[in-house]
Amino acid sequence: MKVIFFLSFVVFIACNDKIEEKQEQKSVLTLLSKDIALTPNNPELFVKRAEYFITENNLQSALVDYQQCLKLLPSNGHYHYKVAYLYYEISKADKTKQRYPEKALSHLEKALQLHSDSILALLLKSELQLVFSEPKKAILHLNQVIELDYNVPKAHLLKGYIYSALGDELKAKQFFHNAIDIDVNYEEAAKKTSAITPVP
């Protein structure tokens, strides 16, 4: 009887915790939305709500808020990058959004016009160029990233993927190794390195 009572108590506490967590999340969103209603021309408030939506995996709502940021500040390169990032992430999760990668690329081009040395924008653009089967263009942008900052493991990883797809396993393995040298815990690069058959 005591065991049943204890288990019931644990379940009750767990349910209460979940209810409180949901209520807290709703209150955060409510407060942000109220602040936006009071000062609708403040892009920082839209950014806060967009980032909140991202933590909740509500990417479409985050996209709407970052688009509003761009309406308020159309020459902000970071906002163009975030819109591009969200278009791309949504397209990966929802295959019906076939035009989203193209829209992402358009915003990345604007972001790079404003900040040509944006490593995040260059990395994302190289990924999108792979989606559009443009490996040579992707390599050019990845080379730019490496010139700006050699210690960006993802740039080396992506170059490894490209050379592997092109059949140059020797170069691919070298770039996967570069990524691991920069970040020893980079599991994706380690898996790719071990998967490559040694060249005779």
The model's pTM is 0.82
What pLDDT, on a 0 to 100 scale, did the predictor assign at position 184? 92
For residue range 20-43, list pLDDT tens digits in order: 555 555 688 999 999 999 999 999
In the chain the domains, ranked by start, together with CATH numbers, are: 40-116 (1.25.40.10), 134-199 (1.25.40.10)
pLDDT band at 11; cut points 50, 70, 90: very low
- Please enumerate in sequence order all residues whose Cβ is within 8 A of that of 137, keeping only pairs 6 or more positions apart, or say none: 126, 129
> CA–CA separation, 76 vs 62, rounded Å?
17
pLDDT band at 161; cut points 50, 70, 90: very high
| Average pLDDT score over the chain | 88
Greatest mean pLDDT among 1-5, 16-20, 58-62, 167-171: 58-62
What is each CA distance from 115 to 7, 18, 120, 125, in whole angstroms? Answer: 58, 43, 11, 13
What pLDDT, on a 0 to 100 scale, did the predictor assign at position 23? 54
Mean pLDDT value across residues 89-117: 96
Given a cut of 90, is residue 162 above it in pLDDT?
yes
Mean pLDDT value across residues 182-194: 88
The mean-pLDDT minimum among 15-24, 99-108, 112-121, 173-182 falls in 15-24
Given a cut of 70, is residue 92 above it in pLDDT?
yes
- Would you say 59 and 90 are in contact if contact means Cβ atoms under 8 Å apart? yes
What is each CA distance from 198 to 109, 127, 161, 181, in whole angstroms? Answer: 38, 26, 16, 19
SS3 call for 134: coil
Tokens of 41: 């021309």
- Look at 24 and 48; give whichever has higher pLDDT: 48
Considering only CA atoms, give the Rg of the chain. 22
